[in-house]
């Protein structure tokens, strides 16, 4: 009995410090992993350290759904390294460089405060693998160190062998086609396949950090990695020989609960209408997209239609010789597609000023340094509007309360900041580009003598329901069986019933959100143009109806780059992507278009080692290279073999995360190390 009590008391003294890298997609998977461990070890204290901005996103009310059940997990803010009165230089990586320079002191001072606050010494460091300094820090505090590498095993091995690679390549580094065949587990590579930080740009803060990481990781108690056993045995063996312990604890896409994404565009029903292996899914992630000429090559004939519509939007922007005000709806997936569209127009119209307005929280996500390619768009600047939350606001717990409060604050929250921007820039607003929700833009545009272009990012059918709201309510309200009432009086809705309508159209009609949508339907016909996330011929009946309702309809979709990821499966075709793990789990071949970092290595592995994908010629999407890659993956014998191989890897991945699978066992080992 005393031994048992001793174990409990020992557990209570354990304190795990989690050090996250607050940029890109590094912090979220680390937090997900730690949440799993914290749930398994409720007596152990977990302290999560990241920047205020990063924690604000990770532990926001919308994401922080399970931490009320994890009282042993608490987050703390570390300094982001940005000086007081900081004026950005415009370099997109500057915030990362400043943060790296602030390490490790920014972590150490807050960790000391937390130790004093909790009365518990830190017994284990769980960190992003980037944090080379954790080796000395763990030794200094007599703690364990377990770093997490969130990318693939092949890129990690390249960083471990950085010195060897630089020594062997030496004077050949300027030759992109120089052969590299001396790294165990790799196919014959070219120097151009390696991340820039290994070969060329070796002296900056980021390359220095990665180099130090490769040197220090062998000192870690264990190295956890987002992979699974059998995905590449040779590389796994090599990593095992370099580390004290290697723990494959992935794929995270299978081991970590994925957020449920509303299928508001009807992707799944649409996919299910098509034959197996007949659909191509296109994604470039959240950080970067190809240049316009490559997107055009992808879109082909539909691209020419979309290009015409985009040019029409560009005309409105170019006519606006002063500035365009972009008003985003800061919830859900509304702001991102509007910003993407505006970025494209801003790139086409470099002499026109674009001012993007959203809440602080929304802008912090949209314009975070990894996503912010706007150093190439000096004519696009973002501004924060008030979110409508009262001072000392205490949430009631209702998930829609922030949206309701924001709607109540409109349009005054936008107008006051817009007035400030006009005064600051000395340029009047001559065009409003807004979310279609913003009914008030009709009067506002009229008041300031500006054009109004509204964007509806969802499907055409739902917008038609909102435009016909009054008619629908009039026709249906008196019917006894409202739920089953037919909607054949709305063009294109002959097969629909009232129960198919959004609740705001017929049922919940008095709330702020329903009122906003009702007003939107009434005011959109006043817009200079209405842009929609669809394409010509997707539904001619709807399109004809729109053309009769609006001054100008612009089909500028489909927004293929904002389609939810991880919704595809092996029955649907192939993928344009650089995320090899998602493709394995999805069971679909990959067409790679690398951009930066480890993308080229990923592409080489998928094509030359696993044989589950192809690259596009010269790494550029042209009509010819795209058609060639599509033909190979979709309709050739080689493509059939790829599918067979990738399904085998998918099988291994799923086996790894089962109860007795290798990744599941490694997670248990990970937990024991951290909490033991």
CB atoms within 10 A of CB 537: 10
Shortest CA distance to 608 belongs to which of 595, 596, 620, 592?
592
Single out the catalytic residue among 80, 128, 374, 577: 128
| Count of the separate structural domains present in the chain | 3
Say if residue 241 is in the same domain as residue 277.
Answer: no
Whose tokens are 């990959």? That residue is: 590
- The answer on pLDDT for 377 being more than 50 is yes
Range of the domain at 27: 15-151+218-258+657-675
Say if residue 587 is in the same domain as residue 453.
Answer: no
Which segment of 475-479, 565-569, 658-662 scores lowest on mean pLDDT?
565-569
CB atoms within 10 A of CB 376: 12
Say if residue 445 is in the same domain as residue 568.
Answer: no
CA distance 223 to 494: 59
CA distance 43 to 558: 50
Strands 179-180 and 189-190: antiparallel
**Among the ranges 87-96, 133-142, 184-193, 634-643, which has the highest mean pLDDT value?**
133-142
Angle between helix 94-102 and helix 205-216 axes, rounded to 10 deg: 50
Q: For residue range 495-512, what is the model confidence (pLDDT) as tens digits?
A: 566 766 666 676 667 778
- The answer on pLDDT for 186 being more than 70 is yes
On the 0-12 / 13-18 / 19+ scale of CB atoms within 10 A, 74 is middle
Is 393 a domain residue? yes
Kindly report the backbone phi and psi dihedral angles of residue 188, in degrees, each rounded to the nearest multiple of 5, phi listed first.
Answer: -65, 120
- The answer on pLDDT for 52 being more than 50 is yes
For residue 66, the model assigns a pLDDT of: 47
Whole-prediction pTM: 0.55
Q: How confident is the model over 448-467, as a mean pLDDT?
A: 81
Whose tokens are 């996103």? That residue is: 57
In this structure, the dihedral spanned by the alpha carbons of residues 654, 659, 663 and 669, taken in order and rounded to 10 degrees, is: 170
Walk across the sheet containing 553-555 and list its strands: 380-385, 353-359, 323-327, 429-435, 451-456, 529-532, 553-555
591 dihedral zone (left: phi>0; alpha: psi -120 to 50; beta)? beta
Say if residue 223 is in the same domain as residue 100.
Answer: yes
Say if residue 276 is in the same domain as residue 355.
Answer: no
CB atoms within 10 A of CB 617: 13
**Among the ranges 80-84, 298-302, 377-381, which has the highest mean pLDDT value?**
80-84
Say if residue 226 is in the same domain as residue 282.
Answer: no
Is 462 a domain residue? no
Say if residue 665 is in the same domain as residue 613.
Answer: no
Say if residue 231 is in the same domain as residue 374.
Answer: no
Say if residue 44 is in the same domain as residue 118.
Answer: yes
Shortest CA distance to 137 belongs to which of 115, 152, 157?
115
Shortest CA distance to 321 belongs to which of 431, 473, 410?
431
- The answer on pLDDT for 74 being more than 90 is yes
Element (H, E) at 496: none
- The answer on pLDDT for 49 being more than 70 is yes
Q: How confident is the model over 471-483, as a mean pLDDT?
A: 68
- Supply 389's token pair: 């939350």
Single out the catalytic residue among 26, 334, 382, 518: 26
**Among the ranges 20-24, 83-87, 538-542, which has the highest mean pLDDT value?**
20-24
**Among the ranges 9-13, 464-468, 657-661, which has the highest mean pLDDT value?**
464-468
Say if residue 355 is in the same domain as residue 452.
Answer: yes
Q: Which of 457, 473, 500 is the last residue of a domain?
A: 457
Say if residue 620 is in the same domain as residue 569.
Answer: yes
For residue 656, the model assigns a pLDDT of: 72
For residue 482, the model assigns a pLDDT of: 63
Is 197 a domain residue? no
Which segment of 49-63, 143-157, 205-219, 536-550 scores lowest on mean pLDDT?
536-550
Q: Which of 397, 428, 457 is the last residue of a domain?
A: 457
For the question of residue 387 being annotated catalytic, the response is no
Say if residue 239 is in the same domain as residue 344.
Answer: no
CA distance 298 to 527: 31
Q: Please, which residues bridge with residue 81 across strands?
A: none
In this structure, the dihedral spanned by the alpha carbons of residues 630, 636, 637 and 640, taken in order and rounded to 10 degrees, is: 50
Is 203 a domain residue? no
Is 531 a domain residue? no
Q: For residue range 301-327, what is the model confidence (pLDDT) as tens digits?
A: 444 444 554 455 455 544 444 688 999
**What is the three-state SS of 123-143?**
CEEEEECCCCCHHHHHHHCCC
What is the band of 376 on the pLDDT scale with cuts at 50, 70, 90?
low
Is 62 a domain residue? yes
Is 475 a domain residue? no
For the question of residue 26 being annotated catalytic, the response is yes
Shortest CA distance to 91 belongs to which of 378, 354, 380?
378
What is the band of 412 on the pLDDT scale with cuts at 50, 70, 90?
very high
Q: CA neighbours within 13 Å on the CB side: how many for 79?
A: 15
Q: Which of 440, 457, 474 is the last residue of a domain?
A: 457
What average pLDDT does the structure give for the chain? 78
CATH number at residue 429: 3.40.50.2000
Is 641 a domain residue? yes
- The answer on pLDDT for 389 being more than 50 is yes
CA distance 81 to 95: 8
Q: How confident is the model over 126-138, as a mean pLDDT?
A: 97
Q: According to DSSP H, which parts of 75-169 are helical?
A: 94-102, 105-118, 134-140, 153-160, 162-169
């Amino acid at each position: 009995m005393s031994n048992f009590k001793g174990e409990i008391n020992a557990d209570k003294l354990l304190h795990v410090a989690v050090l996250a890298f607050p940029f890109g997609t590094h912090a979220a998977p680390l937090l997900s992993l730690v949440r799993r461990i914290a749930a398994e070890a409720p007596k152990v204290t977990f302290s999560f350290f990241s920047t205020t901005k990063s924690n604000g996103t990770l532990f926001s009310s919308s994401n922080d759904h399970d931490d009320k059940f994890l009282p042993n997990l608490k987050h703390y803010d570390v300094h982001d390294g940005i000086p007081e009165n900081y004026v950005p230089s415009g370099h997109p990586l500057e915030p990362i460089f400043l943060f790296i320079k602030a390490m490790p002191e920014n972590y150490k001072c807050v960790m000391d405060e937390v130790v004093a606050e909790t009365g518990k010494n830190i017994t284990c460091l769980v960190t992003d693998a980037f944090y080379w300094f954790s080796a000395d820090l763990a030794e200094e505090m007599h703690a364990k160190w377990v770093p997490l590498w969130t990318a693939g095993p092949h890129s990690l091995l390249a960083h471990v062998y950085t010195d060897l690679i630089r020594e062997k390549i030496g004077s050949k580094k300027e030759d992109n086609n120089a052969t590299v065949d001396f790294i165990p587990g790799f196919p014959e590579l070219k120097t151009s396949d390696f991340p820039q930080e290994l070969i060329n740009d070796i002296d900056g803060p980021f390359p220095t950090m990665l180099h130090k990481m490769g040197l220090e990781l062998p000192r870690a108690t264990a190295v956890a990695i987002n992979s699974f056993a059998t995905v590449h045995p040779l590389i796994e063996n090599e990593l095992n020989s370099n580390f004290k312990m290697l723990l494959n604890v992935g794929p995270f896409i299978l081991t970590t609960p994925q957020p449920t994404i509303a299928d508001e565009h009807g992707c799944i029903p649409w996919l299910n209408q098509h034959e197996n292996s007949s659909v191509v899914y296109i994604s470039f992630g959240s950080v970067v997209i190809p240049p316009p000429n490559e997107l055009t090559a992808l879109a082909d004939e539909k691209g020419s239609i979309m290009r015409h519509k985009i040019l029409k939007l560009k005309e409105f922007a170019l006519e606006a010789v002063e500035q365009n005000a972009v008003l985003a709806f800061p919830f859900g997936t509304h702001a991102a597609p509007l910003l993407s569209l505006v970025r494209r127009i801003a790139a086409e119209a470099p002499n026109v000023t674009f001012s993007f307005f959203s809440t602080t929280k929304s802008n912090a996500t949209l314009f975070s340094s990894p996503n912010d390619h706007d150093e190439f768009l000096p004519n696009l600047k973002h501004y924060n509007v008030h979110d409508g939350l009262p001072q000392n606001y205490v949430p009631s717990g209702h998930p829609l309360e922030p949206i309701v409060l924001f709607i109540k604050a409109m349009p005054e929250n936008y107008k006051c900041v817009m007035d400030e921007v006009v005064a600051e820039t000395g340029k009047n607003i001559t065009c409003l580009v807004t979310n279609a929700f913003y009914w008030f833009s009709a009067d506002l545009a009229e008041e300031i003598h500006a054009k109004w272009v509204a964007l509806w990012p969802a499907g055409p059918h739902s917008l038609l329901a909102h435009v016909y709201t009054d008619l629908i309510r009039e026709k249906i309200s008196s019917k006894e069986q409202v739920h089953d009432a037919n909607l054949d009086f709305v063009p294109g809705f002959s097969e629909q019933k009232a129960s198919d309508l959004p609740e705001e159209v017929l049922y919940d009609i008095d709330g702020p959100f329903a009122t906003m949508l009702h007003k939107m339907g009434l005011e959109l016909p006043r817009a200079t143009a209405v842009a929609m996330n669809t394409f010509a011929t997707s539904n001619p009946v709807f399109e004809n109806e729109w053309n009769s309702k609006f001054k100008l309809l612009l089909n500028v979709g489909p927004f293929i780059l904002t389609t939810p990821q991880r919704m595809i499966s092996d029955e649907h075709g192939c993928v344009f992507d650089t995320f090899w793990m998602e493709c394995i789990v999805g069971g679909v071949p990959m067409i790679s278009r690398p951009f930066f970092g480890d993308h080229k290595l990923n592409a080489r592995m998928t094509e030359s080692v696993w044989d589950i994908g192809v690259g596009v010629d010269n790494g550029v999407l042209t009509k010819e290279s795209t058609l060639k890659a599509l033909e190979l993956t979709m309709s050739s014998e080689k493509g059939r073999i790829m599918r067979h191989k990738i399904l085998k890897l998918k099988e291994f991945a799923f086996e790894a995360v089962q109860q007795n699978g290798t990744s599941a066992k490694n997670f248990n080992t990970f937990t024991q190390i951290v909490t033991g």
